[in-house]
Amino acid sequence: GQQLNQSPQSMFIQEGEDVSMNCTSSSIFNTWLWYKQDPGEGPVLLIALYKAGELTSNGRLTAQFGITRKDSFLNISASIPSDVGIYFCAGQYDYKLSFGAGTTVTVRA
């Protein structure tokens, strides 16, 4: 599948700060998903979005499915040290996923 445009590529944040990352695509998707991957582990699903315009929260995480179906963003509020990791967006069409390149988050204590 195609690779989505995910930004930023990496970020250093202060503990307690809010974090934002986003993904854009030239194609439309039926579903947008956000995963977090720790070193040596498989990606873990954070949030799934199924409808254009949908805004969904999971604890300190909030994500939105863009109205054009070609973009999505993920916000993390009040970051903590365990938020360190690589975050991937994924767009799903016809059951296949296309992934962003990932955003590496490092938290400064």
Partner 1 sequence: GAVVSQHPSRVICKSGTSVKIECRSLDFQATTMFWYRQFPKQSLMLMATSNEGSKATYEQGVEKDKFLINHASLTLSTLTVTSAHPEDSSFYICGGLAGTDTQYFGPGTRLTVL
Positions that interact with partner 1 (CB under 8 A): 1, 3, 30-31, 33, 35, 40-45, 48, 50, 88, 90, 92, 95-97, 99-102
Whole-number minimum distance, CB 20 to partner 1, in Å? 20
Whole-number minimum distance, CB 16 to partner 1, in Å? 27
Locate 52 and state its tokens.
């254009």
Whole-number minimum distance, CB 92 to partner 1, in Å? 7
Residue 33 or residue 76: which is nearer to partner 1 going by CB? Answer: 33
Q: What's 82's DSSP letter?
A: G
Residue 66 or residue 100: which is nearer to partner 1 going by CB? Answer: 100
Range list of β-strands (E), the chain: 5-7, 10-14, 19-24, 31-37, 44-49, 55-58, 61-65, 71-76, 85-93, 96-99, 103-108
